[in-house]
Structure 1
């Protein structure tokens, strides 16, 4: 700091000295001024020096006023000082001083010394660029003077001078908004464009020369600025500009010759000829060909022509065509059209090849950017549609950089491999390449190089790096057999970065960014490769996570907590899959959670100053899963529940919401679901947070209420005694909370309607005898009808339809004696009938059809039995009318559900219904037969129970004695519909 203050003081003293010299104007001062300028230029301007900008502006003003432009020595030294002040000290020159400085620079170009001209142009370029968006500059005057300078010295200008002049012109083409509004700059822009085009349309020059390429780049950037600022110029010079683009877009590509840009003209498109269609003859008859004579004049023009050749009706051409047709199907014929998908595939493959070549570079910034590009390319590439082994090449090219000496390269390599693991769908070659255990083939020997012993497993930096075919070596089978028994190499590297010593040589820990990205890799692995990568090595992974959770670095704790959450969810999903054979003992999974619950995970709840950590800790407890939770020691179970309940009263919204969500997950566990005290405490916590003023908390509370109500329904089906312990007051309170939440934000509404449907299933006949319940139930149905028929959020609508389906399964709700409004079914059935027939969203129509099949007996349909029949038949007829093509994927599911709902209605069919439905069936019979036949063939037996019951009901109805002849005919048509094989 002392050095900086000294430099500032020196600059101030020298500035005052030179200003005083200018004011006195005595003879002999020129040498002193030159010496003072040298002293000023010797200061280190890369650090802040100017403490008084006004003093520096005064220095610039005085120098521009008194330094003559014909004194080459002083001009050169002052130009360097001006460049330092503006470029490194960010000195803002404004007003008259700006105009004076620009005019001084333009006057300084009159000198003959090339070195002086270079310094003057450099200073001018810096002034123009630093003021382009801050102060209006005389663009027109600058452009005219620079163009005049180029024209007068075109033969004497070196490439360096030409480059600087063009850079100044390019700086003039970037104009501030003030100038666009206030002055007519079209002519200066056109002058700049003409200069740029003159240099771009010259004869071919050395494209390997750096200065030449910079000149071309500057001209192209300037031309782009002109087009953006002056659109009218593009209309007049479009052909010339397109010609320039056509030439320079291919410049530098190998084996592509340079073509001087030429003005492109609109091409006159020719009208394509319509091929003549040869009329095919039937019956094997051939039209007799007439042999046209060739005139004698033509015969004489043919050397060695004979009478037979000229009168044979074109024998040689005819036989030639026959020869071609005889071989027309042999081999691949070249076509004039290449499918876009093929072109795109070749482009992607070429991008992979080019990026792998870029990995030859030793520059750290280049490697970092190349690996980032690799990551982006992997995310955008559909590898399942590309040639095989392309993903393997990516993995082997990136793998060596996990051991690079630079942490940033390691991080980007991990990012690229994380994108590989996230690629959809999962490819067998990805799993195969990742499962190979780590050997000594890719190790970091020292800080300067990577040792790569085998090109098959690790891409090297020599020629085989790019062009290696990655064939398996001779000992591939041996490596594979041993590799599958060990830890995957990527997992091992991540654990090593996190400080887990797997082998004696694994003692190095990664830098903080490397550790963070290693945790990201573990999270990605758990989502798609849990069974093969994570599960067999839980004991090592829990060591890494336990250490990361106890690390002092907050971000590392946060990422470790999220990784625990991901692994917990994957573990719970794996153990819940009844179809899979559990290969790893559950005790290992229990040990995983016991280790974390001993200290590291619990400590996250103590961070009062960091609510994000506490929220993540709540998420982790919510991901334990029922299988693990049931086997945890009792003290650990109590610990988890206690921590979550305490967090529901936290002052931070994120913690409160995460805790309530975790409790709603825990309430689905069998042991906790049977604990009435826990269920009631959870219900109270959810009810309390549902009234929170923050939307994010209410959203999670509403989701939790839906989960809680679902758990209560499940308990009621398993044991009626369990649900009887839940007071009717609590159910009424939760139902009212859901009704209130249904008028909230859509994110809250979609969960509250789900809760209404579940809670209405719990309403018993005893509850309906109490006064508040009937009115609340009617309000609940009214809310569901309103939500399914209004609003633009489709999820709210189909959740409402599904909630109606759940509610209509409760037989107690159909007893009208308990309701003041005797026909609550009227709005419900009318709304569902309307939705299933014509609503644009097919998922809403599917749930509406599902709801129409939920009543369990004929009496529950009341007077709507026939209208439901008609609505479902119309819905099937309209299933082909699709306004939005995105709904097409749901069409088959809609038809299936309509058929199942019709089958459910058929089970309630009575003799007197046959004649009532005769006309309706006749109207839609053909469509019903077609769709029912397809659905019957497509559905598996487990899903076609309703159709089988419909057939059984029709057979039983046929045995009824009161069935007359007309009724039997209608019944026979019903049987043909549901049994198309009879």
Structure 2
């Protein structure tokens, strides 16, 4: 742009000289574009401030000398203290030459003196498991208390005194926060009774929450809220003990009940603070404190009504005009529906059906995956497809009249889901067209709420097309972070849809149609994101993960050409330069391999295996973790196919490559090993007679066994040990390992290792898997000389099951004792008459402990599992007829029976 001088612009020569004195010889860009209304954006120091000062300063310079009492001549209003000070500085520089005086007036206190800690994004910051580095701001804060901060002309002495007291309270509250961060949590918890109210609270009770309610200074209220947040966060392990008493006890109040009363009173006061607070910054901190408190509260042990009271106000704040408060309110609701133990009260508030609460368990994890995926589809059944136009019209169809989430004829929508969708630009109400929130954090928090709702699929099930519209808007957003969050939400919702279909014995056609429509809507935009190589690699990887959750029911309903497109797209992504994208793609392909239409496609299987083996060598650990999981999933499918003679098997060369890669990976990172040992077990289970005649396979078998034993005994990772025990159980399901594989004498390594784990492992879930692995053999001769040794180990494990090293294992104790008793009954059924005397000898020193735990299991075991115990009893009664072992059998029968209810309680 051409540089123009101030000459000829109407500015006097004297003013031009003054401008040159402050380094402005030529007119600046803002001055050249000056008009009545304008927006000027230029770099710092380019003359923006001076441009709008000149029209005021020039007439002042041209006026005659003022007399006392005249003025002020010009008034400049600025929105912030910092801008006002900047204007004063520029006026000083220019006005010094023409002898113009100015004064800067502002209120409040200086930013440098407002040094209080702000707790921001509690959900993300506290989830990082910080060891204290996050909370070090207050360690360096200094507070001035000198009288020089105020002059007598600015405020009266009473105001100065109030200011000093406010500073004193702020310093004291900051000190409490610092102590809460540095003092050990169990020591700090001992002072809760002095800092928080209980059921005897009165308006005069001294507590931190009283500061939140009554302190006149917003800074002090914020400091009090932050101190509460720190203390609650560090006290999570103790607050889990809280409960509400079912009836009042006059003589004695348990600690858990007293703690529950304290938590109830704290929620009462926080709710009151939500209702009364008018300062936006304080209100924001109250909401963030509430998110921390929700995570630490055992709502399922407390009386009903706590949540209802504060949600009444939070619900209003979700539509607040201030975006920061709106984000805080949505964050509170997101954490509330993510609690580990859902209560009927929370479900009623949000709209979760009660049936989902009762069914919410690990049912889906326990369900046999291969059974769930062995879904047979009629080839002649019409494929469920809708045109894009139909889907678009369905998305735009309103669900409810104005002011309501749904119409009387349509499904009811949760108020929280409605708010989230409206903020993401989905029109719910035909009388009110929704537009996406202009504030990025609001849109991001709404996506977080949707991801939390995915764990309660019934909230979304009837509104999947509206959710799809919201996700499409988010994928089209210009901000990359929004797209990334949308990809994560799609991944979670896809998993929820798949799980919902898998756990049902009979599939609802309407639910299946809606699920297919959802994916038909999303597939084009997801495919577009994956194919765009300029797109963020993390987003492309998440989209591949989402396709992995497509599910067998939806996949089989897609047209064949759409299936081929998906497989081709993911196969191409396995060659992507970014390891995150390639590993996500092979993971999705390994899931598809269990689908009926692809399970017997040997070309697809071998191509997928080759891609996995290539990525197993990637230097990125995260990529190797996904690849190792994928290889385990592939071998699960191969084991399933091995029992079907009509399915073509993979070549020996491919099997050898898989086993070699798994052996190498079994010595890798713990997260890689936990999947690789599963692959090793699957491969040894599939070995045939011809493999044992080749030295190369015998060598691989020996290495495989050594790796399994090494991971059982040497690894400190519980998941590695757990999977290694499972893998050994798979190995022993192959009868050829006991006949043809005897040349490598693998039993002398496996049995002592697994017996050691079943007795001594600190983790009860590992012991459960070890006990199950010891009972998979169905032929007595396969145990060989280790039969009595294994029997003795199981008895010792049952006797040791009451010794808890870690209290967290208590919840697994009953399952462990049940599995040990089932394994013992398995040995009683297989025992020969030669074994019984030795078995009785091993039982004798442990008789009392074993009998006690056996009786406990017999009284609570499910009927479908008790048949194995009955079979063992019948076998022992038959053996008792033999006089040679009668005394040994009688002692065993005396131990393994229920004296109180007859044999086994039947």
TM more than 0.5? yes
Q: Does 1:642 align with 2:565?
A: no
3-state SS of the aligned residue for 2:762?
coil
Which residue of the partner structure matches residue 869 of structure 1? 791
Q: Does 1:498 align with 2:416?
A: no
Instruction: Give the one of 531, 537, 544 matched to 1:606.
Output: 531
Offset, 1:691: 0.9
The Cα offsets for residues 791-836 of structure 1, whole Å up to 9 and x where unpaired, read as: 22222122212211111111011124x5643x21111111122222
RMSD: 4.4
Q: Does 1:798 align with 2:726?
A: no
Q: Distance in 1 between matches of 2:691 and 2:176?
A: 77
Is the Cα–Cα contact under 8 Å of residues 781 and 828 in structure 1 kept in the other structure? yes
Is the Cα–Cα contact under 8 Å of residues 677 and 724 in structure 2 kept in the other structure? yes
Q: Distance in 1 between matches of 2:466 and 2:449?
A: 15
Q: Distance in 2 between matches of 1:8 and 1:335?
A: 90
Which residue of the partner structure matches residue 165 of structure 2? 216
Is the Cα–Cα contact under 8 Å of residues 271 and 310 in structure 2 kept in the other structure? no
Which residue of the partner structure matches residue 348 of structure 2? 432
Offset, 1:865: 1.0
Residue pairs, 1:189-588, within 5 angstroms: 210-219=159-168, 339=255, 341-343=257-259, 345-435=261-351, 482=408, 485-512=411-438, 513=440, 514-528=442-456, 530-531=457-458, 533-578=459-504, 582=508, 584-588=510-514
Distance 1:764 1:13, change over 3 A: same
Q: Distance in 2 between matches of 1:225 and 1:375?
A: 21
TM-score by length of 2: 0.67
Is the Cα–Cα contact under 8 Å of residues 451 and 493 in structure 2 kept in the other structure? yes
The Cα offsets for residues 662-706 of structure 1, whole Å up to 9 and x where unpaired, read as: 122222223222222211111111111111111111111111111
Larger CA deviation: 480-489 vs 423-432? 480-489
3-state SS of the aligned residue for 2:324?
helix
Residue pairs, 1:510-909, within 5 angstroms: 510-512=436-438, 513=440, 514-528=442-456, 530-531=457-458, 533-578=459-504, 582=508, 584-597=510-523, 599-609=524-534, 610-717=536-643, 719-722=644-647, 725-816=649-740, 820-821=743-744, 823-909=745-831
Q: Distance in 2 between matches of 1:333 and 1:831?
A: 53
Which residue of the partner structure matches residue 890 of structure 2? 972
Offset, 1:645: 0.9
Runs (5+) with no aligned partner, structure 2: 24-42, 48-80, 87-102, 114-142, 179-193, 195-204, 216-246, 354-403
Q: Distance in 1 between matches of 2:304 and 2:20?
A: 70
Distance 1:485 1:878, change over 3 A: closer
Offset, 1:564: 1.4
Offset, 1:787: 1.0
Distance 1:163 1:793, change over 3 A: farther
Offset, 1:755: 0.9
Q: Distance in 1 between matches of 2:294 and 2:176?
A: 35
Distance 1:798 1:340, change over 3 A: closer
Q: Distance in 1 between matches of 2:332 and 2:82?
A: 43
Offset, 1:878: 2.3
Is the Cα–Cα contact under 8 Å of residues 414 and 517 in structure 1 kept in the other structure? yes
User: Which structure has the bigger radius of gyration?
Assistant: 1
Offset, 1:561: 1.9
Is the Cα–Cα contact under 8 Å of residues 8 and 49 in structure 1 kept in the other structure? no
Q: Distance in 1 between matches of 2:638 and 2:885?
A: 46
Which residue of the partner structure matches residue 950 of structure 1? 872
Runs (5+) with no aligned partner, structure 1: 16-46, 52-83, 90-115, 127-142, 151-156, 166-204, 230-242, 257-330, 438-477
Distance 1:922 1:820, change over 3 A: closer
Which residue of the partner structure matches residue 931 of structure 1? 853
3-state SS of the aligned residue for 2:563?
helix
Is the Cα–Cα contact under 8 Å of residues 758 and 771 in structure 2 kept in the other structure? yes
Q: Which of structures 1 and 2 has the larger relative contact order (alpha carbons within 8 angstroms, sep 6+)?
A: 2
Is the Cα–Cα contact under 8 Å of residues 436 and 480 in structure 1 kept in the other structure? no
Q: Distance in 2 between matches of 1:376 and 1:486?
A: 31
Is the Cα–Cα contact under 8 Å of residues 837 and 878 in structure 1 kept in the other structure? yes
3-state SS of the aligned residue for 2:885?
helix
Count of aligned residue pairs for this structure pair: 685
Distance 1:917 1:422, change over 3 A: closer
Q: Distance in 1 between matches of 2:711 and 2:432?
A: 60
Is the Cα–Cα contact under 8 Å of residues 260 and 302 in structure 2 kept in the other structure? no
Offset, 1:634: 0.8
Q: Distance in 2 between matches of 1:551 and 1:49?
A: 35
3-state SS of the aligned residue for 1:562?
helix
The Cα offsets for residues 87-141 of structure 1, whole Å up to 9 and x where unpaired, read as: 968xxxxxxxxxxxxxxxxxxxxxxxxxx9x99xx99x99xxxxxxxxxxxxxxx
Q: Distance in 2 between matches of 1:786 and 1:8?
A: 86
Is the Cα–Cα contact under 8 Å of residues 950 and 978 in structure 1 kept in the other structure? no
Is the Cα–Cα contact under 8 Å of residues 436 and 489 in structure 1 kept in the other structure? no
Is the Cα–Cα contact under 8 Å of residues 407 and 511 in structure 1 kept in the other structure? no
